[in-house]
Every structure is written in structure tokens, then in C-alpha cells.
Amino acid sequence: MAELSTLIPYVDRVKPYRQYGRVTEAVGLMIESEGPPASVGELCSIFTAGGREILAEVVGFKGNKVLLMPYDRVEAISPGSLVQSWNKPLEVPVGMSMIGTVVDSLGRPFEGGIELAGCRWFSTDNDPPNPMSRPRIQEPLQVGLKVVDGLFTIGKGQRIGIFAGSGVGKSTMMASISKQSDADINVIALIGERGREVRDFIERDLGPEGMKNTVVVVATSDQPALMRIKGAYTATAAAEYFRAQGKNVNLMMDSVTRVAMAQREVGLAIGEPPTTKGYTPSVFAMLPRLLERSGTSEHGTITAFYTVLVDGDDMNEPVADTVRGILDGHLVLDRKLANKGHFPAVNVLQSVSRLMTELVPAEHVKAADHLRSLLAVYQEQEDLINIGAYKKGSNPQVDEAVRRRQEVNEFLMQHAGETVSFSETQNQLIQSFGTESR
């Protein structure tokens, strides 16, 4: 009897019959229905006259009407289509069999015939770890790029933003990090990408070497806004699963800006007031909740790289400004450097890692500061130097910056695919720039 009494609460929750609603209106992205009883965030199925089942999510209410946002096109939905609630939020299959595959926002493999065996169902919307249970970040992560490992050392569990306009090398940089870093698993989310570029990135940039320990989650630009949002959530959920298994995970999301734009579409469709540049309040509520889910936990780490598209290279646009305030550092990619064939095109003087001083010895920090000072001094006097107005011997700091200009550039530049270990980078930096002058 004691065992039966423990089951009574579960029996009470079982619904002996199914409740349905009916579609009453569909305008743009939004579908209204009378019923069924559901909560915000729950999954629903809409059954069309042709026998299709379209997944949708409850995103709000309007009086007694339920507001639904579909995961698919709405062409087949008509007035009176039946709506059934799943009574739970979206869950996706996650497991070790995902490694090496490309999946969509619902965790389904793109390539037909592939089955993900041994997976468990995992919620896509989870709470960030308790801040008091997060271990401090104390171990550096090898990225394999000299400019990052040397001047902006990243720790396991750190969250970094990669800020850039279009076409300045974000994808190439992400692929290099995924192949060269010493993380156990990579989870890459391609959100809002052109369909043509997905296969290019997987086969050309990643290649078999990059895919062997990588999961790629894809939501292309033609998919509904909710699918693009859920792509970011699904990738984060997969990274959380691997972190719970004690792994050190790299989570790379390209791009957070497109996730914010998708959330703006949803917010405007349900009647949220637009604020700065048309972004709705839900965008600025969603970003910290999503980005805080990465980082350290008592089991493992998620080191996150979030790319941010900056329109017209404007670093102060709303999404870039918000993301920069949440993350633990940022790398700014410079179009002028990219146009000169400088890879990676990191603008050293505009980038920062907030944890570097806690991860590397003092001589490493001193050498990095010295290199930055050489760049800063040269940049201040560059116009005078180029027109020949600077007279050698006028300023010892400028003299050193001019003399060592080529040496600095050789350290900062690296061929795509060239691998340099963290210890090699550290030794080269300290030996070359560990003294005030040479």
C-alpha cells in the first residue's frame, strides 16, 4: 500500500481525455486558436485538412485566444484546423551518437538514413547553472591562433564574442578554432546562414578532421523565426548535455545577431512594442538567459564563441552593446586588416579578454602588454611615418615601434590551417617581446 500511495500524485496528473482547440485566425507569422488549455512555451500540433501535422509553440495569449508560432510554413493551415497541446515544452534527442552529424533545430539529422541511437530527450530551455556552484575559470584553453592565445588568452568556460561585419573571416576563424583547440567536443550552431554556405563550411572549412568531434546545428535563413531561435537553444542544450558528462565543450554560435532578429520577428508578431532600432523588450530578456547557460559547472565546461554581426561595422548597435556587456571578452575583426589579407583580422587594440591575467604568468602578460604598446604607438604616429614627416631619433618608443613593425605583424598573422601550440605561442611571445626594447 505504501508503494501505491507514492503513485497517487502521478495518477492525479493523468488526463483521461484529450483536449483540442480550433484555429480561428492566421495573420503573418501568428496563428490564433480557441483552446486548447496550454501554457507559454508548450508545444502544440496543428492538424491540417490534408493530414499534415505542423508543430507550433505557444508564445502568448490574447484574451481567451491562444497565440501560436509554427515551426513550419503555414500555407496548409485553415480556419477550424484542430490544435492539440503536448503539455510540455520542446525536447530534442541528445547523445554521443550526435557527434559527427548535422542536425536541424529539432535535433533531426539532415542526411536521410542516419539514426541517432542511444539518445535521451533533453529540454532546449534550461536554467543557467547556479552562480555559487560555478567553479572559477583557472585553466587556459588552447585555441591554436597565436594572436588569441598570446594576447587574449581564453580560459575553459569563458564566453567570448567575435564582433565583425560580413565577409571578414568569422567562419574561417571558427573552423580554425574547432580543429586546433584542445576541447573534447565542438558544438557549432549556424543560425540564419545561406543554404549554399552550410555545405561549404562543413566540407571546405571544417573537413573530416573538424567533423570527427563536432556537432553542427543548422537553421537556415529561409526557415521560420521560431526555428532560428530554437537552433540556438538546441545547440546550447547539446553543449549542456556534453558538459554534464564531464566534457570540455566548445560552443560556437554564428550568429547571435540573427537569433536576436528572429526573436524580434516573434515579438513584433505578438504585439510587443519596438524599442531601440525596432528590437522588442523580449530580445534583451532572451540574450542574457541564453548566453549565461554556457560557462563552467561542477561537471565540465562550455567555452563559448558567439559571433555578432555589426551593421556598417557599428560596434555600438543595440545587440552588440548588450552582448559585449554580458560576455567575458570580445575579439573585434577589422575589415581593413581583412582587405590586406591579414588573417586572423583581429584588431588588437579594440579586443580584450577579461580573464587573461588570471590564466597566464606575469611574464606572459608583460610581453603581451609590450606588443600592444608597440601597436598603439605606431598607430598614433602612422600618418606622420607614412608621409616621411617623422624624424628618426625624435622618440625612442616610436623608433622601436617602427623598427619592430614587421616582427609584430609576423607574430599576429597566421595562415589558415596552420597550427601553433599554446606553449609555442607563449614562448615566442615572451622571447620576442618580454623586454622593453631590443
Domain boundaries, the chain: 18-89, 92-352, 363-434
Closest CA to 150 of 403, 375, 380: 375
Q: Where are the alpha helices (DSSP H) in 83-181?
A: 146-151, 170-180
Cα–Cα dist 200/80, whole Å: 43
DSSP state string for 183-211: -SEEEEEEEEE-HHHHHHIIIIIIHHHHH
CATH number (3.40.50.1820, 1.10.287.3240, 3.40.50.920, 1.20.1270.330) of 363-434 reads: 1.20.1270.330
Residue 120 and residue 92 in contact, taking contact as beta carbons nearer than 8 Å: no
Long-range contacts of 107-115 (CB under 8 A, 24+ apart): 107/234, 107/238, 110/218
Residue by residue, pLDDT tens for the chain (438 residues) are: 556 666 666 555 556 667 788 999 888 788 899 988 888 888 999 988 878 888 999 988 888 899 999 888 777 788 888 999 888 888 888 988 888 889 999 888 887 656 677 788 888 888 898 889 899 999 999 999 999 999 999 999 999 999 988 778 888 888 888 888 889 999 999 998 887 888 888 888 888 888 889 999 999 988 988 999 999 999 999 999 999 999 999 999 988 999 999 999 988 888 888 888 889 999 999 999 999 999 999 999 999 999 998 866 667 788 888 999 999 999 999 888 888 888 889 999 999 999 999 999 999 999 999 999 999 998 888 777 777 777 787 778 888 888 898 999 999 998 877 888 999 999 999 998 877 554
Residue 99 and residue 215 in contact, taking contact as beta carbons nearer than 8 Å: yes
Amino acid at 51: G
Q: What stretch of H or E contains 162?
A: strand 159-164
- Cis peptide before 109, with omega less than 30 degrees from 0? no
Closest CA to 68 of 76, 79, 58, 77: 58
Angle at 129 between CA 125 and CA 133, to 5 degrees: 165
**For cell 564582433, what's the residue?**
163
CB atoms within 10 A of CB 235: 27
Q: What count of Cα atoms within 13 Å lies in the side-chain half-sphere of residue 354?
A: 13
Angle at 67 between CA 64 and CA 72, to 5 degrees: 155
User: What's the pLDDT score for residue 276?
Assistant: 80
Angle at 247 between CA 242 and CA 250, to 5 degrees: 80
User: What's the pLDDT score for residue 219?
Assistant: 92
Cα–Cα dist 285/293, whole Å: 14
Residue 100 and residue 185 in contact, taking contact as beta carbons nearer than 8 Å: no
Closest CA to 272 of 37, 30, 26: 30
Class of residue 85 by CB neighbours under 10 A (exposed 0-12, middle 13-18, buried 19+):
buried
CB atoms within 10 A of CB 123: 15
Query: Does the 18-89 domain belong in CATH 3.50.50.60?
Result: no
Cα–Cα dist 400/196, whole Å: 47
Cα–Cα dist 221/326, whole Å: 26
Cα–Cα dist 293/391, whole Å: 54
Closest CA to 184 of 204, 158, 212, 203: 212
Cα–Cα dist 296/373, whole Å: 33
Cα–Cα dist 143/186, whole Å: 12
Q: Are strands 329-332 and 159-164 parallel, antiparallel or unpaired?
A: parallel
User: What ranges make up the beta strands (E) of 272-409?
Assistant: 295-296, 301-309, 329-332, 352-353
Query: Does the 92-352 domain belong in CATH 3.40.50.12240?
Result: yes
**What's the predicted TM-score (pTM) here?**
0.89
